[in-house]
Amino acid sequence: MERASRRGIVLGLQSLDFSACRSESALQQLHRRTITPKLYTPTARRKISIQSLCNSKQYRRSEQHGNPRGGSWRVGIAAAVGATTVAVNSSPDSDGSSKETPTVAPAESVDAPLFTFGAIADVQYADMDDQWDFSKTQIRQYRGALEILRAAVCEWNTMPQISFIANLGDIIDGHNNGLKESQVALDRVLGEFNLIAHDIPVAHLIGNHELYNFTIEELQRGYFRNSLNPTGTTYYSFRPPSPSPIPWRVIALDFYHTNMITSKEDNEDKELAFRFLQAKNPNDLRKEGVNWKAGLSAQDKRFVPFNGGFGAKQLAWLREQLADAKRCGDRVIIMSHGAIAPRSASDSCLAWDYQDALTVLDEFPGTVTAVFAGHDHNGGYTERKGVHYITMPSPLNVTPETGALAHAIIDVYADKMVVHGRGITARLLNSRSATFSHARGNIPEASSHGPPLLTSHL
C-alpha cells in the first residue's frame, strides 16, 4: 500500500526563560481534578462504543470520500513516518519584528510534544437539507457537518495523549431557532462531543450562531461549564491538562462580548452596539436578508451585525493574562471565534475592535505563539510579528471532492508547533508548496484570506 504523507505546518517559536512560575498553581490543580461537566445532555444519549461509531454506516460513507490526493484518512493517520514539513525558526530582527528562516525538518520529532490538542470550528449543524449560503457561492452541508464532527471524534479517540479539544464556536446553525429545534440540535452535537474518550475536555467558544439560538445566561449554565471553565464564563484561560505542569496557557476569548444579535434578548448593551454600527454602516442593519456589506470596502466590511467586539473590559483582562504569562515565562495560544488579524480571514469576519486587540498582543512580543479562529468558513492564515493566525475552515464546506474531514491535530513542542490538517484543513495548509523568508512590512501580497506562506511538500 502506498504510504500517505501526514499533512502539517511547523510554526517556529522564540525561546523564553521558563524558570519562573514552575510550581503548580491552584488553577492547574483544579484542571487535574476529575470534574463531571453539567452540559446540555441528550435525553437519550446513544450508548455505542467507539469501534461501532467508526464502523457506522454514516462514518463509512464519510471514509469512502477519502482524500482527494489519494488514500483514506485512516491511512493518513498511520503513515506519518518519513513525512517532511517546513520548520520556521523565528529570531528577533533589529526593529523588534521577527524574520522566519525556514528549514526542512521531520514531521515527527524524536521528542514527544509537550502537549497535543484537537480543533474544529463552525460545525453549524441543523436537521435540514443542504442550502446555498447567502452569497450563493457555497452549498452548506447542514446534516453532513455532524458526520464530519463524528469522524474527527473518531480520530481524536485514537490519541489518548490529546490534552483538550478546541471547539471554536458556531456549534449549531441559526436556522434551528426558526425550526424550534435549538435545544434538540445542541443536544445532538454535544452528544458527539460527549463520545470523546480518555476524559478529554472540550474548550467551547461562543459564536454568533450560539447567540441566534440561546441567551448568554442559558449558555453559561450549560454549554460553557466544564473542567476547563468551571464558572461557565464566556472568556477564560486554562493550562493544558498534563500529568506535570507545563509552561503554557490557553486563552479563550469572547468575540461577541459586544454584539447586536437580538434574536433571543434585547438590552441596553445591544442597543448601544446597534448605534455604534449604524455610524459605520449605512445599510438597514435590523432587516434580515439585506446585504449588510453593500457600500463597504476593505476592513470596513467588518462592521456588520454577524460580527462583534471584544470590548474594553475583556481586552483589559487579556492584557492582565498576557502580563502574567510573561512574568511566569508561559507561552500562550489564543482562541477566538472570529479573526483578529487582517489577511487571516475575510475582512468581513474581523472583530469590530481588532486593532485594539492587536495593540494588546503587540505589548507582549514573544509571548503569544498562535491565534486559532473560525467564522470564515473558507479558512485562512497569516503571520504577523511572529504570531501565527490560523482560521479553521468549516465542516459545512465539506464535499466528496474536497475531502470528508475538516479538523486539525496540533502538536506543541518546546521550539515549534505542528498543525496537522485533515481534509479541507489539510488543503488550506498545503495549497502552496513554497518557502518564504520575510520580515514585518515585507510580507508578499496575497488574497485577503489566502493559504499560509510556509508549507510542506507532500
Could you list the pLDDT tens digit for every one of the 458 residues in the chain? 333 333 344 544 433 332 334 333 332 332 333 222 222 222 222 222 333 435 543 433 333 333 322 222 222 222 222 222 333 333 333 333 333 322 333 344 457 899 999 999 999 999 998 888 877 788 888 999 999 999 999 999 999 899 999 999 999 999 999 999 999 999 999 999 999 998 899 999 999 999 999 998 899 888 888 899 999 999 999 999 988 889 999 999 999 999 998 666 667 788 888 899 989 999 998 888 889 999 999 999 999 999 999 999 999 999 999 999 999 999 999 999 999 999 999 999 999 999 999 999 999 999 999 999 999 999 999 999 989 999 999 999 887 666 689 999 999 988 888 888 888 887 777 543 222 222 222 222 333 333 333 222 11
Asked whether the beta carbons of 357 and 318 are under 8 A apart, the reply is yes
CA dist 200 and 157 (Å) reads 9
Half-sphere exposure of 56 (CA within 13 A, CB side): 14
Rg (CA), the chain: 21
Q: Which amino acid is at 228?
A: L
Max intra-chain CA distance, the chain: 62
Report the interhelical angle of 144-156 vs 182-193 (nearest 10°): 20
Q: Which residues does 16 contact at the CB level (< 8 Å), separation at least 6?
A: 247, 329, 331, 366, 367
Q: Which grid coordinates belong to 345?
A: 480571514
DSSP reduced 3-state for 314: helix
CA dist list (Å): 275 to 255, 284, 397: 18, 12, 34
Distance CA 74, CA 65 (A): 12
- The pTM assigned to this predicted structure is 0.75
Residues 167, 374 contacting (CB under 8 angstroms): no
Q: What end-to-end distance do the CA atoms of the chain give, in Å?
A: 17
DSSP assignment, residue 131? E
3-state secondary structure of 417: strand
The amino acid that residue 87 corresponds to is A
Q: How far is CA 3 from CA 73, 76, 77, 80, 152, in A?
A: 12, 8, 11, 8, 21
Instruction: List Cα–Cα distances, 339 to 94, 373, 446, in angstroms.
Output: 28, 6, 17
All three cell numbers of 448 = 485577503
- 214, 127, 123: which is closest to 171 by C-alpha? 123
Using DSSP's 3-state secondary structure scheme, residue 259 falls into coil
Residue among 410, 417, 372, 418 nearest 392 (CA) = 372
